């Protein structure tokens, strides 16, 4: 019930504001004896780090993670893992001008309505800065999954559309993803996105994006229907990311336009194991993984913080306008890639432990 | 963590198989002193009931609900409400032929992989029959919400697309929804859908659908960021419905194609209260309701049970084919309308109680 | 958070009132492929059944359990198990005279204060009748534990004190427990308890009792510190039983009177495994089982429903007196024996699954 | 399900080891707009602080708390409150000699059995050092309760027995509790306890204690039967404190020796409100608070870390002896006083919010 708690067996609770002294999270339920060090986490934090290109926010954060508990002699102990990331480049002054105004498309209005107070500095709790905690926790989830299921599992994401310009799926090459500032798997689309984003910035505007996350190498059986279905939990995980407005599994909304015989993935045997002839299901049937690739797509709205003036009101109900200064991503979806991967890892790790508890036979040692 | 449990404060746990003696649910956390009788629930069950037209399954179920606990002298007592619905038209013989075969697009394969056993009669636990429990629980949630927030709140859903044929939104008329067999808000599309579905049935095929759910009259402030955001919980609720493959809030995937200044809903004052000039946000910002209409869309895949032969394997790994007999909806999305409404009601009821616990000031009686 | 939900992985939710149509529970999280039939459950319900001697309530309840879901072909399927027990001997008329009066020592006053309404028939929800559901769920937990850990595990309880008259622990014989109406392990104390209870009944009074529960054959490692310690969860489980006012583990309150070197259970090796020279810890150290016997004692207050007049008030604040008629146990602690066993089984089953999820290594099949 | 998570609506998760860089906790669910500063928390931490007299451990910890999130402009914001306490006097070298040996009465053996690894420095996670986090979280719970229910509520604890020497309850004076090193409410017993503890230390032994916690000023209606009864949750909260082996409510185990008419608290009216003539119930009936004082007692075992040699084994199964050096409390129960108060505050705060969510009527502002 905890508002800031994710998962059921492998749980993480997140805390911290954009301009407070630090942000962090606590992971409870990690199995013991999993090798874990700060570098394992830092690698993923660095992929999300702001300021790496002109297409992300210019805020400079080292985003250095410290492990404060739960690891001893280089391995997890089964006790809570506390992760701590200092905020080093908080410039609260940038936000004085929005202290009493609600930025359209932002959580300013709703936090004030709900809590009767809001930390206006950098969005406070509602800032995308919190996603650093998710990436850190996701890195731990990966280690746990690799420890249990082997090194061959993969959790990868890519941007597949920016501002309505989609990649060509025939060009898909995972190796490209970390070679361009957009996490694009299609090298050919990169110049188009550069042009579109440069134009948007010049016009004081911003663009949306679609991200695709793929998990491969995972066994059939993950998911806990009828409520905690794997796809249901993935939908929640992804929709809880800032700026996400849509989530789909496999064929997703297009499945509603297919005929039954097109959509149902037919099955043959191949190399002695079941082999699906297609994957419209996105690797999930009845809320349980099939053993195929698990495929999720999520839609990010365009950044709401815009340098151009928009109509709004202040907290006393006066009509006014606002143009947001500060340092913002012109397309928040881009840095959503490592975050979406993290949410996939966290969800799969939780469901792996749940599956193990309920369904995996255990032979007790004598 | 319970796989079949929904909600945190207003909780319901669902049980029962398609061809067992009964299905039902237990609701825990309903406030006391809310007027509730079986007719309040039956009304919604009857909207979902199968066999009402040639476009839904021909299974005949009375779907009569009994309240076994938690209500005394016509009002809730604050203790668990147990709801019970007998299965009266279970024909397990229809399923002997699929006992050892996995229907493509169905949960047969994954249940067997996960649990090592499956109840093959009518899909067992994975049957859409379970959604009757959701509709029943949703009816209780509505009563609780009306009791707390007044009779003016509305939770309504409609089918807006079948087999790729969309309604004309200009024709939207809520009064039409219960006047045709498709829950369509657009009377003009009805003949087209009839033709498309009749054709699909003749061709032993099935069609998908898109459903839109709208909640109006709800206050700002519902939702518990950063994990239990209202949109995140709605995404999970909707994605946990059988056959749903995509969920979007407000502008949804289209938001990814809008520019920042188009997408951000600007704010003015109207009649002394904040007034948004648009609702791309679908009534949710930062995971918290804005007070606007809450708008969710969900994509249903086409029914996977098809009378035409599809390639599959049996539980010993032999390649074979299967054509499903039984009685099935040619378009499962249609009966998804009352189910989607129920999931909206359950989610909002839970978040209303959570908001009340944390944020609504209470004056104690002396 | 659910008020009527027990457990985290092996969960049961309980519903039903003393004089409603039925009571029951839903178990979620049971592993699949565990042999289970109604007789497995009935055996334990029969031990708790009222009316077996003059020392328990004369209410006659068949207490016949029905399994409504979750079992197929004689084994669990991993889906929710719904258990249903009809109320057949409800005599609501007996309770008209207490409709507006609060019985001292009862929940009448507090339910009215909390909910603003109470089902006055037989105590409604607060009746000890609900413990039948616990016993039923506990029987399922036992089957799951035996399936996982082998048939040698034992969960047994006995009454060790009634009305201040304690057993002689030197006479302890588990075989005696089901041979007398008190679940006494000491045959010699039986006539004394008969005399004391007959006298108490003649004097329109009632007596309290102490029950001891012992679980043996369980492995070391169960328990999830620092909050969900095994002893903490057992304390909650036992204290949630009607009329229980105290819980202790191992030496319990006496441990506070021992010196450090007396209390600390020293360790040697025996037959190649660790062997504790005493068990003041009651089989739990740091919230985790040691592999020794797990020993819990619980104190039941004397029955509060008395046929002699007691001072009270009515629901309009008038001072009055009340003598409870109805049919009541003169010593509720006696029938607490199968209930305490059930709570032990439920707690251990839940912790076994949790331990398995987090700490038991799993070798994946190729 | 989280092992280190307490509460359902007002939740706190605890992390950290005795000799790691820091310990701390995250509180999720605190209402917004509650005044809170570090001094509010420090006051209670200082009461628990080690090294205040020769009767507690000589470890010197500043125990200075930092609030890292969730507070803005001096009030809570409704978002997670992260509390951080540095470890400044960790001397890990003291523990080299117990690296491979299990201290009898300690969690060394069970942590190794459960997790396959243990942090042997100062007991690692199982150290009583963690209770500082509980005291810190409890201080926040108090502020929330005072904000909601007024300043007249009181949560107080006292030591009532050490080494079998009980206070004289007639001397009970709350004002004495902070005037002696034992938190004794009876000044007369202080010299006896000094003598007993000095003797125990000279004999390289340790003593147990009984603590009583009393909450007054709380309304009737708190508690969520049938599982999350107030007494059940208090039992869990108290039993989860290190070294506690027994918990009782009101008359507790003595209730089992009373007759029905003695034990049942009769009711009259006084000043127009219900007035109980006694409080054997300890302020809780049917799992719900009555409005009387809530009274809980808990038994602490004597400290297990003893400077005298005890029989044990090492982690390779060799028989050996161990005498613990390090710095330890000769009677851990003493410093249990602020911890028990904290657990009472945390439990009541959680149940207050739950009661408010379900049962307190709310009038919506127009």
pLDDT digit string, tens, across residues A304-344:
989 999 999 999 999 999 998 766 789 999 999 999 999 99
What are the chain A neighbours of C9 within 8 Å (beta carbons)? 9, 354, 357-358
pLDDT of residue C56: 76
User: At which residue do the structure tokens 């410290």 appear?
Assistant: A66
One-character DSSP codes across D50-87: TTSSTTS--------EEE-SSEETTEE-SS-EEEEEE-
Chain A, chain C: beta-carbon pairs less than 8 Å apart? 49
**C278 vs D: CB within 8 A:** no
Q: Does the pLDDT at position C5 exceed 90?
A: yes
pLDDT of residue C362: 76
Distance (Å, whole) CA D161 – CA D246:
14
What 3-state DSSP class applies to A44?
helix
Chain C, chain D: beta-carbon pairs less than 8 Å apart? 379
Percent of chain A clearing pLDDT 90 (strictly above): 86
What are the chain A neighbours of B206 within 8 Å (beta carbons)? 259-260
Q: Does the pLDDT at position A193 exceed 70?
A: yes
pLDDT of residue B56: 76
Percent of chain C clearing pLDDT 70 (strictly above): 96
Asked if the Cβ–Cβ distance from C72 to B13 is below 8 Å, we say no
Q: Does the pLDDT at position C366 exceed 60?
A: no
Chain B, chain C: beta-carbon pairs less than 8 Å apart? 149
State the pLDDT confidence band at B256, using cuts at 50, 70 and 90: very high
For C196, name the nearest residue in chain D, comparing CA atoms only. D259
Query: For D285-325, how does the pLDDT look when each residue is reduced to its tens digit (9 = 90+)?
Result: 999 999 999 999 999 999 998 999 999 999 999 999 999 87
Select the more confidently predicted residue: C325 or A355: A355
What are the chain A neighbours of C364 within 8 Å (beta carbons)? 148-150, 219
pLDDT of residue B57: 72
pLDDT of residue A92: 61
pLDDT of residue C92: 61
**Secondary structure, 3-state, chain B:** CCCCEECCCCEEEEEECCCCCEEEEEEECCCCCCECCHHHHHHHHHHHCCCCCCCCCCCCCCCCEEECCCEECCEECCCCEEEEEECCCCCHHHHHHHCCECCCCCCHHHHHHHHCCCCCHHHHHHCHHHHHHHHHHHHHHHHHHHHHHCCCCEEEEEEEEECCEECCHHHCCHHHHHHCCCCCCCHHHHHHHHHHHHHHHHCCCCECEEEEEEEECCCCCCCECCCECHHHHHHHHHHCCCCEEEEEECCHHHHHHCEHHHHCCCEEEECCEEEECCCCCCCEECCEECCCCEEEEEEECCCCCCCCCEEEEECCCCEEEECCCCCCCCCHHHHHHHHHHHHHHHHHHHHHHHHHHHHCCCCCCC
Q: Return the half-sphere exposure (C-beta side, CA atoms, 13 A cut-off) of residue D212.
A: 21
Percent of chain B clearing pLDDT 70 (strictly above): 96
pLDDT of residue B281: 98
**Secondary structure, 3-state, C249-299:** ECCHHHHHHCEHHHHCCCEEEECCEEEECCCCCCCEECCEECCCCEEEEEE
Q: Chain C window 163-202: which residues touch D at a Cβ cutoff of 8 Å?
A: 163-164, 200
What are the chain D neighbours of B30 within 8 Å (beta carbons)? 358
Distance from CA of D25 to the nearest CA of B (A): 18
Q: Does the pLDDT at position D217 exceed 80?
A: yes
User: Of the candidates D205, D226, D237, which has its C-beta nearest C14's C-beta?
Assistant: D226
Q: Does the pLDDT at position A366 exceed 60?
A: no
Average pLDDT over residues B161-167: 98
Q: Does the pLDDT at position C300 exceed 70?
A: yes
For B364, name the nearest residue in chain D, comparing CA atoms only. D149
What are the chain B neighbours of A299 within 8 Å (beta carbons)? 248, 252-253, 255-256
Q: Which of C220, C239, B248, C121 is nearest to D228 (CA)?
A: C239
What are the chain C neighbours of A291 within 8 Å (beta carbons)? none
Distance from CA of A306 to the nearest CA of B (A): 7
Query: For B267-290, how does the pLDDT look when each residue is reduced to its tens digit (9 = 90+)?
Result: 999 999 999 999 999 999 999 999
pLDDT of residue C310: 97
What are the chain C neighbours of A148 within 8 Å (beta carbons)? 362, 364
Q: Does the pLDDT at position C327 exceed 70?
A: no
Q: Does the pLDDT at position A365 exceed 60?
A: no
Asked if the Cβ–Cβ distance from D115 to A78 is below 8 Å, we say yes
Q: Return the half-sphere exposure (C-beta side, CA atoms, 13 A cut-off) of residue D284.
A: 35
pLDDT of residue D326: 66
- Helices marked H in A224-267: 230-239, 260-263
Average pLDDT over residues A133-157: 97
> Distances in Å between the alpha carbon of A101 and those of A98, A322, D170?
5, 7, 62
State the pLDDT confidence band at B253, using cuts at 50, 70 and 90: very high
- Identify the burial level of A125 via C-beta atoms within 10 angstroms of its C-beta, where 0-12 means exposed, 13-18 middle and 19 or more buried: buried
pLDDT of residue B1: 53
Average pLDDT over residues A289-301: 98
Poorest-confidence range of A48-52, C355-359, D46-50, D248-252?
A48-52
**D257 vs C: CB within 8 A:** yes
Q: Which of B241, B213, B239, B352 is nearest to B288 (CA)?
A: B352
Alpha carbon B193 to chain centroid, angstroms:
21
Average pLDDT over residues A123-146: 96
Rounded to the nearest integer, the mean pLDDT of chain B is 94
Distance (Å, whole) CA D155 – CA D177:
13
Rounded to the nearest integer, the mean pLDDT of chain D is 94
Tally of CB atoms within 10 A around B268 = 12
**C331 vs D: CB within 8 A:** no
Q: Does the pLDDT at position D365 exceed 60?
A: no
Q: Return the half-sphere exposure (C-beta side, CA atoms, 13 A cut-off) of residue D235.
A: 35
One-character DSSP codes across D182-234: T--S-GGGHHHHHHHHHHHHHTT--B-EEEEEEEESPPTT--BTTTB-HHHHH
Asked if the Cβ–Cβ distance from B245 to A245 is below 8 Å, we say no
Extract the runs of DSSP E, i.e. beta strands, from chain D.
5-6, 11-16, 22-28, 65-67, 71-72, 75-76, 81-86, 154-162, 165-166, 209-216, 244-249, 267-270, 273-276, 284-285, 288-289, 294-300, 310-313, 319-322
Average pLDDT over residues C44-57: 83
Own/partner contacts of D180-186, CB < 8 Å, gap of 24 or more, are D181/D52, D181/D53, D181/D54, D181/D55, D181/D56, D181/D334, D182/D55, D182/D334, D183/D157, D183/D158, D183/D159, D183/D211, D183/D334, D183/D337, D184/D158, D184/D159, D184/D160, D185/D158, D185/D160
Q: Does the pLDDT at position B60 exceed 80?
A: no
Distance from CA of C75 to the nearest CA of A (A): 14
Average pLDDT over residues C112-128: 92
For C118, name the nearest residue in chain B, comparing CA atoms only. B77
What are the chain A neighbours of D72 within 8 Å (beta carbons)? 17, 117, 119, 124
**A35 vs D: CB within 8 A:** no
Q: Does the pLDDT at position A295 exceed 70?
A: yes
Poorest-confidence range of A109-118, B54-63, B161-170, B318-327?
B54-63
Alpha carbon A50 to chain centroid, angstroms:
15
Q: Does the pLDDT at position C82 exceed 90?
A: yes
Average pLDDT over residues B99-115: 96
DSSP state of D181: T
pLDDT of residue B328: 72
Asked if the Cβ–Cβ distance from D302 to C259 is below 8 Å, we say yes
Average pLDDT over residues B34-40: 98
Pair C184, C209: CB distance under 8 Å: no
The dihedral region occupied by D123, where left means phi > 0, alpha psi between -120 and 50, and beta the remainder, is left
What are the chain C neighbours of B8 within 8 Å (beta carbons)? 1
**B356 vs D: CB within 8 A:** yes
DSSP state of A361: -
Pair B232, B287: CB distance under 8 Å: yes
For B106, name the nearest residue in chain A, comparing CA atoms only. A285
For A69, name the nearest residue in chain D, comparing CA atoms only. D16
Average pLDDT over residues C158-165: 98
What 3-state DSSP class applies to D169?
helix
User: Of the candidates A103, A205, A269, which has its C-beta nearest B319's C-beta?
Assistant: A269
Average pLDDT over residues C245-255: 98
- Identify the burial level of D224 via C-beta atoms within 10 angstroms of its C-beta, where 0-12 means exposed, 13-18 middle and 19 or more buried: buried
Per residue in A305-322, is it b (16+ CB within 10 Å) or e — as a string?
A: bbbeebebbeeeeeeeeb
**What are D270's strand-pairing partners?**
D273
For A359, name the nearest residue in chain C, comparing CA atoms only. C31
DSSP state of C18: T
What are the chain B neighbours of A161 within 8 Å (beta carbons)? 256
Q: Does the pLDDT at position C108 exceed 80?
A: yes
The dihedral region occupied by C74, where left means phi > 0, alpha psi between -120 and 50, and beta the remainder, is left
Rounded to the nearest integer, the mean pLDDT of chain A is 94
| Residue A259 tokens, joined | 């005929």
Q: Chain C window 92-111: which residues touch D at a Cβ cutoff of 8 Å?
A: 102-107, 109-111
Q: Does the pLDDT at position C29 exceed 70?
A: yes
Q: Which chains touch D (3 or more CB pairs under 8 A)?
A: A, B, C
Percent of chain B clearing pLDDT 90 (strictly above): 86
Distance (Å, whole) CA B200 – CA B196:
6
What are the chain C neighbours of A149 within 8 Å (beta carbons)? 364
Average pLDDT over residues B197-226: 97
Asked if the Cβ–Cβ distance from C22 to B118 is below 8 Å, we say no
Asked if the Cβ–Cβ distance from A110 to B220 is below 8 Å, we say yes
What 3-state DSSP class applies to D7?
coil
**C8 vs B: CB within 8 A:** yes
Average pLDDT over residues D7-29: 96
pLDDT of residue C60: 75
Asked if the Cβ–Cβ distance from C358 to A353 is below 8 Å, we say yes
Asked if the Cβ–Cβ distance from B33 to C75 is below 8 Å, we say no
State the pLDDT confidence band at C203, using cuts at 50, 70 and 90: very high
Distance (Å, whole) CA B46 – CA B34:
22
User: Of the candidates D235, D319, D354, which has its C-beta nearest C239's C-beta?
Assistant: D235
Distance (Å, whole) CA C340 – CA D294:
25
Distance (Å, whole) CA A132 – CA B165:
42
What 3-state DSSP class applies to D144?
helix
State the pLDDT confidence band at D361, using cuts at 50, 70 and 90: confident
pLDDT of residue A90: 65
| Residue A345 tokens, joined | 């890892």
Average pLDDT over residues C269-290: 97
Q: Does the pLDDT at position C192 exceed 90?
A: yes
User: Of the candidates A31, A358, A362, which has its C-beta nearest C358's C-beta?
Assistant: A31
Pair B14, B131: CB distance under 8 Å: no
- Report ipTM for this prediction: 0.97
Average pLDDT over residues B108-121: 95
Probe site for chain B from C4, C13, C90, C132 (most B CB atoms < 10 A): C13
Alpha carbon A124 to chain centroid, angstroms:
19
What are the chain C neighbours of D317 within 8 Å (beta carbons)? 269, 272, 274
What are the chain C neighbours of D255 within 8 Å (beta carbons)? 208, 245-246, 299-302
For A354, name the nearest residue in chain D, comparing CA atoms only. D1
Asked if the Cβ–Cβ distance from D16 to A68 is below 8 Å, we say yes
Rounded to the nearest integer, the mean pLDDT of chain C is 94
Q: Rg of chain C's alpha carbons, rounded to an integer?
A: 21
- Identify the burial level of B247 via C-beta atoms within 10 angstroms of its C-beta, where 0-12 means exposed, 13-18 middle and 19 or more buried: buried
What are the chain B neighbours of C224 within 8 Å (beta carbons)? none
**C357 vs B: CB within 8 A:** no
pLDDT of residue D126: 93
State the pLDDT confidence band at A96, using cuts at 50, 70 and 90: confident
What are the chain B neighbours of C125 within 8 Å (beta carbons)? 69, 77, 79
Q: Does the pLDDT at position C11 exceed 70?
A: yes
Pair B265, A304: CB distance under 8 Å: no
| Residue D327 tokens, joined | 């710095």
Q: Which chains touch A (3 or more CB pairs under 8 A)?
A: B, C, D
Distance (Å, whole) CA B301 – CA B329:
12
Average pLDDT over residues A345-352: 98
| Residue D194 tokens, joined | 């000094």
């Amino acid at each position: 019930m905890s508002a800031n708690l994710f998962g059921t067996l492998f749980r993480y609770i997140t805390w911290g504001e954009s301009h407070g002294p630090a942000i962090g999270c606590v992971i409870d339920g990690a199995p013991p004896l999993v090798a874990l060090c700060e570098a394992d986490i830092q690698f993923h934090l660095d992929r999300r780090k702001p300021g790496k290109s002109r297409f992300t926010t210019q805020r400079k954060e080292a985003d250095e993670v410290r492990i404060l508990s739960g690891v001893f002699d280089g391995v997890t102990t089964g006790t809570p893992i506390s992760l701590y990331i200092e905020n080093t480049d908080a410039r609260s002054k940038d936000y004085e001008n929005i202290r009493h105004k609600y930025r359209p498309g932002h959580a300013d209005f709703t936090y004030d309505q709900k809590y009767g107070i809001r930390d206006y500095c950098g969005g406070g709790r509602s800032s995308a800065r919190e996603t650093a905690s998710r990436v850190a926790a996701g890195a731990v989830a990966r280690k746990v999954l690799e420890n249990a299921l082997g090194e061959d599992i993969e959790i990868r994401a890519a941007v597949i559309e920016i501002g309505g310009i989609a990649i060509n799926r025939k060009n898909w090459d995972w190796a490209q993803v970390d070679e361009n500032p957009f996490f694009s798997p299609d090298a050919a689309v990169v110049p188009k996105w550069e042009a579109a984003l440069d134009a948007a910035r010049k016009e004081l505007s911003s663009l949306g994006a679609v991200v695709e996350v793929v998990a491969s190498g995972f066994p059939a059986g993950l998911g806990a229907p009828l409520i905690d279905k794997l796809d249901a939990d993935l939908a929640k995980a992804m929709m809880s990311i800032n700026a996400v407005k849509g989530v789909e599994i496999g064929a997703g909304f297009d499945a509603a336009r297919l005929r039954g015989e097109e959509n149902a993935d037919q099955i043959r045997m191949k190399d002695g194991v079941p082999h699906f002839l297609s994957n419209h299901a996105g690797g999930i049937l009845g809320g349980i993984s099939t053993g195929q690739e698990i495929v999720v797509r999520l839609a990010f709205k365009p950044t709401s913080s815009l340098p151009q003036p928009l109509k709004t009101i202040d907290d006393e109900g006066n009509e006014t306008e606002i143009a947001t200064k500060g340092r913002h991503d012109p397309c928040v979806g881009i840095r959503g890639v490592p975050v979406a991967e993290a949410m996939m890892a966290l969800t799969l790790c939780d469901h792996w432990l749940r599956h193990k508890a309920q369904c995996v036979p255990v032979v007790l040692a004598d």
